[in-house]
Amino acid sequence: MRKRDTWKSRLGIIMAVSGSAVGLGNFLRFPVQAAQNGGGAFMIPYFISLLLLGIPLMWIEWTAGRFGGGFGHGTAPGIFHTMWEKNRFIKYFGVIGIFGPLVIFIYYNYIASWTLAYAVFSAVGKYGQAADQESMVSLLKGFQGIEKNEFFSNLQYAYLFFLVTFVINIFIIYKGISGGIEKLCKFAMPTLFIFGGIIAVRVLTLGAPDPTRPGWNVLNGLGFLWNPDFSALKDAKVWLAAAGQIFFTLSVGIGVILTYASYLKRTDDVALSGLTAASTNEFAEIIIGSSIVIPAAYIFFGPHQIQNIAAGGAFNLGFVTMPLVFQKIALSAFFGCLWFSLLFLAGITSSVSLAQPSIAFLEDEFRISKKRAVIIFGIVSFILCQPAIFFLKHGAVNELDFWGGTFCLVLFATVETILFGWVFGIEKAWEEIHHGADMKIPKIYKFIIRYITPLFLFSILGFWFYQQGIPTILMKGVDQIDKPYVLGIRLMLLGMFVVLAIMVKIAWRKRPQRKANK
C-alpha cells in the first residue's frame, strides 16, 4: 500500500484542526449572531448546541477519520464505505464531504483575499480617504466590483489580491500535510492569538471618547453583547442561529476533520485531541472574538447605531465599521493592519483545510501523486472561483454559501451521525473513540451520540428547511435580474456533484479491497 502522509506531532494536528475551525466566522459572524439574537441569552442555546451537537460531532469525525485512514481512505466516500461495507450506496452520501468543502473553498478564498487587501490598505492609508460609514461602504463596493466610484473603477485590485491568496493556498497545499499545513498552522495560530490579544487589550482599555456621552464605554459595549434578553429564547430562530454558529465555528459537518484525522496513526489519541482543538476554537471565538468588534463599535457609535451595524452583517462589521473605529484611535494604521492580518491568518488556515478533501480523494482513490493532484485541483478550483468574483453582485456568493456552507453541513452531519451511532454501532464506536485515548469520555455521551445528537440534527434540518430552505430553493426574494445567475450557479453545482459521484463510481471499479493498517 502506498505510504500516506502523516502529522509530525500531536500539536500539529491540534493546531491544524483548530486552524480549520478558527476562521472569519469567529471574529465577524459570532458577535453579529450574538448581538442579533438576544445578546447574552444567545449563549444559552449556543452552549447547549456545543455540548449536544458540536463536541459529539467533533469526536465522531476525529474517530471516523482515523478509522477510515487505517484502510487508506482520506475522504468521506471511502471512510463511510469502511464503516458500512455491505451497503454499496453509502459511499455516494460521502460525496457531500468532498463537494461541500470544494464549494466553500471557491468563494471563501476570494473573501479571505479581501482581508489581505485591507491589511495592505491599512498600512498605506488607502481607506483613510473614507471618513464615514457611507464612503467606507462605497469603498468596499468599489473594491468588490459591485459599483464604480472614486475609489475603484474596476476589479483589478481585487483580482490581484485574489491571485496572491490563491497562489499562497496552492503552495501550502503542495507542501503537504506535515510540510505545508502543519507548519502553517504552528506559525499562524499562535500569531493570530497574539494579534487578537493585542487588539482586544487596546479595545478594552479605551475610555469613553465623548465626555458628553459617558455611557458609550467598554462595559456597556460588553453588556450590549452579553446582557441576556431571555424572551428571545422563545424564538426558534435563535436556537437555529446558535446551532448554525456551532457548525460554522467548529468546522463540523464539512468533511475536513475526517480528512485531517485520516492521517493519524491507529494509536493516536482522538478524545483529548478533539476536545483540545474545540476548546482552542472556543477561546478564539468567545474570549477574543467578543472582546473586539461589538465593544469597539459601541464606544464610537453608541447603543442606537450599533443595532444597525449588527444588522448590517459580518462584512459591514469587519470591512466598514472596524476601519472607521481604527481611524479614531492612535496608531490607526498599525491596529488596522493587525486586525486584517489576523483575519487573513484565520482565513488562510481555514481555506487550505477546505482544499484537502479534494486532494486526498485524488491521491487515495486514484493513486495520483501529490504533485499531480494539486495541479489538477488548482486548475479546476481556479476556474470554479470565477463566478464568485465576477457575479458577486448578482448573489453568487450567497448561493454558494447556502448550498456549500449551510445545506451540506447539516445534511452531512446528520448522515455521519446516524452511520456512526447506529450502523457502525455505538458499542464499537465507543471502543474506537477510546483506542489510544488519554482521557475517558463521560458515559452520558454514549446516549447523547446515539439519541440526542441525531434528534437535534433532524430538528435543525426540519426547521431550517421549512424556514430557509424552501424559500431559498424557490428563489424567494431574489431580484428578477439576478435569477439567471442564481440558476447558473445551481447548474454548476449540480454538475460538480454529478462529476464527483461519477469519479467515486470509477474509483471503486478500479480499486482493490484494502485491509486496515494495524
Q: Cα(348)–Cα(113) distance, rounded to whole angstroms?
A: 9
> For the domain 10-510, what is the CATH code?
1.20.1740
CB atoms within 10 A of CB 468: 17
Q: Tell me which residue has cell 484525522.
A: 261
The Cα 508–Cα 259 span in angstroms is 18
**What's residue 444's pLDDT?**
97
- What confidence category does residue 181 fall into, taking pLDDT thresholds of 50, 70 and 90? very high
148-156 long-range contacts, Cβ below 8 Å, gap at least 24?
A: 155/389, 155/390
Tally of CB atoms within 10 A around 120: 15
C-alpha separations of 66 from 34, 45, 394, 434 in Å: 34, 30, 41, 12
Q: CA separation (Å) from 176 to 22, 355, 446?
A: 20, 11, 35
Burial readout 303-324 (b: 16 or more C-beta within 10 A, e: otherwise) = eeebeebbeeebbbbbbbbbbb
Reduced to 3 states, what is the DSSP secondary structure of residue 39? strand
How far apart, in Å, are the Cα atoms of 502 and each of 219, 399, 458, 496?
Answer: 56, 24, 28, 10
For 336-366, what is each residue's pLDDT tens digit? 999 999 999 999 999 999 999 999 999 999 9
User: Stretch 442-453: mean pLDDT, rounded?
Assistant: 96
**Lowest-confidence range among 183-197, 237-251, 442-456?**
237-251
Q: Are 32 and 290 in contact (CB under 8 A)?
A: no
In this prediction, residue 349 carries a pLDDT of 96
Which pLDDT band holds residue 518 (cuts at 50, 70, 90)? Answer: very low
| Minimum mean pLDDT range among 260-269, 303-312, 502-511 | 303-312
Percentage of residues of the chain with pLDDT beyond 70? 97
Query: What pLDDT, on a 0 to 100 scale, did the predictor assign at position 156?
Result: 93
- Using alpha carbons, select from 14, 21, 7, 5 the residue that is nearest to residue 354: 21
pLDDT at 504: 96
The 8-class DSSP code of residue 233 comes to G
- Alpha carbon separation from 433 to 90, 310, 429, 437 (Å, rounded): 22, 40, 6, 7
Spatial neighbors of 18 by CB under 8 A, at least 6 apart, are 185, 189, 277, 280, 281, 284
Read off the amino acid at residue 408. C
> Is residue 375 packed enough to be buried (19+ CB in 10 Å), middle (13-18) or exposed (0-12)?
middle
Which residues have C-beta within 8 Å of that of residue 202, sequence separation ≥ 6?
329, 335
What is the reported pLDDT for 426? 96
Note the pTM of the prediction, 2 decimals. Answer: 0.93
Nearest Cα to 290, choosing from 39, 37, 21?
Answer: 39
Q: How does residue 2 score in pLDDT terms, banded at 50, 70 and 90?
A: low
The amino acid sitting at 57 is: L
Which residues are CB-contacts of 149 (< 8 A; sequence separation ≥ 6)? 138, 139, 141, 142
Half-sphere exposure of 471 (CA within 13 A, CB side): 8
Question: Around Cβ 435, how many Cβ atoms within 10 Å?
Answer: 15
- pLDDT at position 512 is 60
Are the CB atoms for 174 and 371 separated by under 8 Å? yes
DSSP state of 55: H
The pLDDT value recorded for residue 513 is 53
Q: Find all residues with CB under 8 Å of 189, minimum gap 6, and list them.
A: 15, 18, 19, 22, 280, 345, 349
Tens of pLDDT, residue by residue over 130-145, are 888 889 889 999 999 8
Q: pLDDT at residue 516 above 60? A: no
Neighbours of 175 (CB within 10 A): 17
User: What percent of the chain stands above pLDDT 90?
Assistant: 61
| Nearest alpha-carbon partner for 60 in 87, 97, 16 | 97
Q: What are phi and psi of 359, to 5 degrees?
A: -65, -45
Phi, psi of 160 (to 5 degrees): -60, -45
pLDDT value at 1 more than 60: no
Mean pLDDT of the chain: 90
pLDDT at 396 over 90: yes
Q: Confidence band (pLDDT; 50, 70, 90) for 377?
A: very high
* 316 or 206: which leads in pLDDT: 206
Least confident of 23-32, 55-64, 481-490: 23-32
Q: What is the pLDDT of residue 91?
A: 95
CA atoms within 13 A on the CB side of 410: 23
Average pLDDT over residues 473-493: 93
Nearest CA-CA partner of 165 in 392, 355, 316, 17: 355
Collapsing DSSP to helix, strand or coil, 228 comes out as strand
- Burial label for 480, CB within 10 Å (0-12, 13-18, 19+), is exposed
Quick: pLDDT tens for 267-281.
999 999 999 999 999
